[in-house]
């Protein structure tokens, strides 16, 4: 009798295994070989909408931050609970010191394409509404997922394509790359001022960053290369500890036969460079973000360790035509002046001091506006005038300032 029961149990187990395998094959067959979805640009970052599979098999649309420079896959607690995920596991600290819990995801799709999650470990950030503060972001799309595909980032046309290896023929100039097999980080050799350097490709950053030591070495030889101290304009979305770094406009960066002219970069200190290089296959001096490759349809062919550049537009050479102040979130709400940009050792803005709380930019109520809106109002043509209303230790002051071409 026991033998008969065991045989029936074994038979059911085999049949169930075969059924699950068949369903998996059908799902794979039903999944397209490629998918193209809109690319959303907010707060100087790239986002796409994806569909997470819930515990009950339903689909839940979520916004993901496209981050080729980050191997860690993180989603919000709210999304995890909406999906019915098990959050009973132990909490561990993220690199940012936030509590997170490892989970199992039933599935993830973009444009109907089922994504390969075998190289990544989903983590839930507990208590956080957004993975990236300031945007309605449910999670990120990390390099450990993207590394399985051909990934086309088309900033000029505002779309992203994911394709299975060999599903599309990439167009444009091919540049050989190097992919770290565990993190999925892509880097390429570049030539700057006649010397070879290695730079990563990081779509997740708001602005390109290169070693401060390298910037200093170029400064010593090229006083004519535009540079300032203090990150402003689109670079103002970097974390506060990086906002007092130097910025430079590099006349030309060569990635293979591809010339990137007028690349804007922010300096990164030696500690940051060292930490970043732990994620790449070989040491890098920094990374280029989408602000410096936005003129191209960029196809990152991870399986074949190559990047293709197809020219479609132009780099925004006026992205730093802005009032030279650096802003940070104020503890009492709104934004305060973290620093005044310096050029040739002198502040470029008079009448504004670090610590001033920004109340208005002309008629814009800056106290209740988001950072992107404020920065848009601080931009303009060189020579344009802006009136800033500031709170300086309880006293309201005004400053008439000019838009400058900072770099």
Q: What DSSP string describes 258-314?
A: EEEEEEEEEEE-HHHHHHHHTTSSS--SEEE-GGGTTTEEEEEEGGGTEEEEEE-S-
Whether the Cβ atoms of residue 164 and residue 34 lie closer than 8 Å to each other: yes
Report pLDDT for 25: 42
Residue 281 shares a structural domain with residue 378: no
Whether the Cβ atoms of residue 358 and residue 365 lie closer than 8 Å to each other: no
Report pLDDT for 10: 46
What is the tally of structural domains in the chain? Answer: 3
Show the CA angle centred on residue 185, arms to residues 179 and 188, nearest 5°.
60
| Percentage of the chain lying above the pLDDT 70 cut | 92
Report pLDDT for 12: 53
Q: Is residue 221, in this structure, part of any structural domain at all?
A: yes
More confident residue, 95 or 4: 95
Average pLDDT of the residues in 64-81? 96
Checking if the pLDDT of 301 tops 50, the result is: yes
User: Of 126, 154, 182, which closes a domain?
Assistant: 154
Whether the Cβ atoms of residue 173 and residue 258 lie closer than 8 Å to each other: yes
pLDDT digits (tens, 9 = 90+) for 367-392: 999 999 999 999 999 999 999 999 99
Residue 339 shares a structural domain with residue 256: no
Phi, psi at 25, each rounded to 5°: -65, -40
Residue 180 shares a structural domain with residue 304: yes
Report pLDDT for 133: 64
User: Of 254, 288, 311, which closes a domain?
Assistant: 311
Q: Is residue 399, in this structure, part of any structural domain at all?
A: yes
pLDDT digits (tens, 9 = 90+) for 173-188: 999 999 999 999 999 9
Report pLDDT for 129: 72
Q: Is residue 52, in this structure, part of any structural domain at all?
A: yes
Whether the Cβ atoms of residue 327 and residue 308 lie closer than 8 Å to each other: no
Residue 302 shares a structural domain with residue 177: yes
Q: Average per-residue pLDDT in the chain?
A: 91
Residue 135 shares a structural domain with residue 197: no
Checking if the pLDDT of 87 tops 90, the result is: yes
Checking if the pLDDT of 6 tops 50, the result is: no
Of 23-27, 254-258, 371-375, which range is least confident?
23-27
Residue 122 shares a structural domain with residue 253: no
Q: Is residue 17, in this structure, part of any structural domain at all?
A: no
Give pTM, 2 decimals: 0.88
Checking if the pLDDT of 30 tops 70, the result is: no
Residue 181 shares a structural domain with residue 276: yes
User: Of 154, 185, 215, which closes a domain?
Assistant: 154
pLDDT band per the 50, 70, 90 thresholds, residue 31: low
Q: Is residue 237, in this structure, part of any structural domain at all?
A: yes
Residue 184 shares a structural domain with residue 290: yes
Q: Is residue 70, in this structure, part of any structural domain at all?
A: yes
Residue 186 shares a structural domain with residue 304: yes
Q: What is the CATH number of the domain that holds 277?
A: 2.40.70.10
Q: Is residue 10, in this structure, part of any structural domain at all?
A: no
Q: Is residue 14, in this structure, part of any structural domain at all?
A: no
Residue 185 shares a structural domain with residue 279: yes
Residue 138 shares a structural domain with residue 256: no
Counting runs of H as helices and runs of E as strands, what totals does the chain give?
A: 6, 34
Distance CA 288, CA 320 (A): 17
Q: What is the CATH number of the domain that holds 357?
A: 2.30.42.10
Which structural domain range is residue 122 located in?
A: 34-154
Residue 277 shares a structural domain with residue 345: no
Checking if the pLDDT of 268 tops 90, the result is: yes
Dmax (CA) for the chain in angstroms is 93
Structure tokens, 147: 């590394």
| Percentage of the chain lying above the pLDDT 90 cut | 85
Distance CA 89, CA 117 (A): 19
More confident residue, 128 or 196: 196
């Amino acid at each position: 009798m026991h033998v008969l029961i065991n045989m029936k149990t074994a038979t059911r187990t085999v049949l169930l295994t075969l059924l699950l395998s068949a369903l998996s094959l059908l799902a794979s067959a039903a999944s397209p070989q490629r998918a193209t979805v809109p690319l959303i640009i907010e707060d100087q970052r790239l986002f796409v909408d994806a569909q997470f599979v819930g515990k009950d098999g339903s689909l839940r649309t979520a916004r993901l931050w496209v981050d080729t420079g980050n191997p860690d896959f993180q989603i919000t607690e709210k999304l995890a609970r909406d999906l019915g995920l098990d959050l009973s596991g132990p909490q561990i600290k993220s690199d940012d010191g936030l509590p997170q819990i490892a989970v199992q995801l039933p599935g993830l799709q973009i444009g109907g394409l089922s994504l390969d999650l075998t190289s990544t470990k989903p983590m839930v950030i507990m208590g956080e509404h957004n993975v990236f503060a300031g945007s309605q972001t449910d999670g990120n799309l990390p390099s450990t997922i993207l590394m399985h595909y051909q990934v086309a980032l088309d900033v000029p046309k505002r779309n992203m394509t994911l394709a299975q290896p060999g599903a599309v023929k990439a167009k444009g100039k091919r540049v050989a790359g190097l992919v770290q097999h565990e993190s999925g980080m892509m880097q390429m050799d570049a030539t700057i001022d006649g010397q070879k350097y290695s730079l990563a490709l990081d779509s997740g950053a708001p602005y390109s960053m290169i070693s401060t030591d390298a910037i200093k070495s170029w400064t010593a030889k090229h006083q004519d290369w535009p540079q300032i101290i203090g990150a402003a304009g689109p670079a103002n979305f970097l974390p506060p500890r990086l906002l007092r770094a130097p910025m430079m406009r590099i006349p030309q960066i060569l990635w293979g036969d591809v010339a990137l002219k007028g690349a804007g970069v922010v300096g990164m200190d030696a500690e940051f460079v060292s930490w970043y290089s732990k994620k790449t296959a070989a040491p890098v001096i920094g990374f280029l973000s989408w602000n410096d490759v936005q003129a191209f349809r960029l196809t990152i062919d991870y399986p074949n360790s190559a990047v293709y550049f197809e020219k479609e537009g132009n780099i925004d050479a006026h992205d730093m035509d802005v009032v030279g102040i650096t802003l940070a979130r104020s503890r009492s709400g709104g934004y305060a002046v973290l620093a005044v940009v310096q050029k040739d050792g002198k502040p470029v803005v008079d009448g504004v001091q670090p610590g001033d709380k920004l109340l208005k930019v002309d008629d814009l109520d800056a106290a209740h506006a988001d950072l992107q809106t404020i920065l848009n109002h601080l931009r303009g043509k060189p020579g344009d005038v802006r009136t800033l209303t500031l709170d300086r230790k309880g006293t309201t002051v005004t400053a008439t300032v000019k838009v400058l071409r900072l770099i």
